């Protein structure tokens, strides 16, 4: 079951600047904000917690990052939407019946989570991520 919108991710050129902008927009305090790096994606990220969801700001760490290529092609803006599940394998099996297959095997995302992405060509040009949190 998909139980929550885990996060909405936005690609940005300058993380510090974007974070200031979103702090101004949302009134988020430091306790709501977590900074992290995802070496696999070569990005620096900031998560702003809002209720049960987060806004994730992603800045590429080098030009070979997929996010750098995204910024080149499409500019700053919505990068992906992440939906939370407690059972990633079950959700992959469910979507496979709908002929929607993830782009790859589950991998490790930011904050020690198991994630997959679906091909935006199959999902109305919006990159969709499924997230399963490890036991907290």
Q: In this complex, which beta carbon is closest to Co ion, that of residue 59 or of residue 129? A: 129
9 in contact with Co ion (CB under 5 A)? yes
Tokens 């910024």 sit at which residue?
71
Question: In angstroms, what is the minimal distance from the CB of 129 to Co ion?
Answer: 5
82 in contact with Co ion (CB under 5 A)? yes
- Interface mask (CB under 5 A) for Co ion, residues 16-55, using x and -? ----------------------------------------
Q: In this complex, which beta carbon is closest to Co ion, that of residue 95 or of residue 128? A: 128
- List residues near Co ion by CB under 5 A: 9, 82, 129
């Amino acid at each position: 079951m998909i139980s929550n919108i885990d996060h909405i991710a936005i690609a940005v050129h300058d993380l510090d600047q974007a974070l200031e902008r979103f702090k101004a927009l949302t009134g988020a305090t430091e306790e709501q904000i977590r900074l992290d790096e995802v070496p696999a994606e070569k990005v620096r990220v900031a998560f702003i917690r809002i209720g049960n969801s987060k806004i994730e700001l992603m800045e590429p760490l080098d030009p070979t990052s997929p996010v750098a290529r995204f910024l080149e092609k499409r500019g700053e803006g919505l990068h992906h939407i992440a939906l939370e599940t407690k059972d990633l394998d079950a959700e992959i099996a469910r979507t496979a019946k709908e002929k929607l297959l993830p782009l790859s095997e589950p991998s490790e995302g930011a904050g020690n989570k198991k994630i997959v992405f679906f091909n935006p060509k199959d999902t109305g040009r919006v990159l969709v991520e499924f997230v399963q949190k490890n036991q907290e």
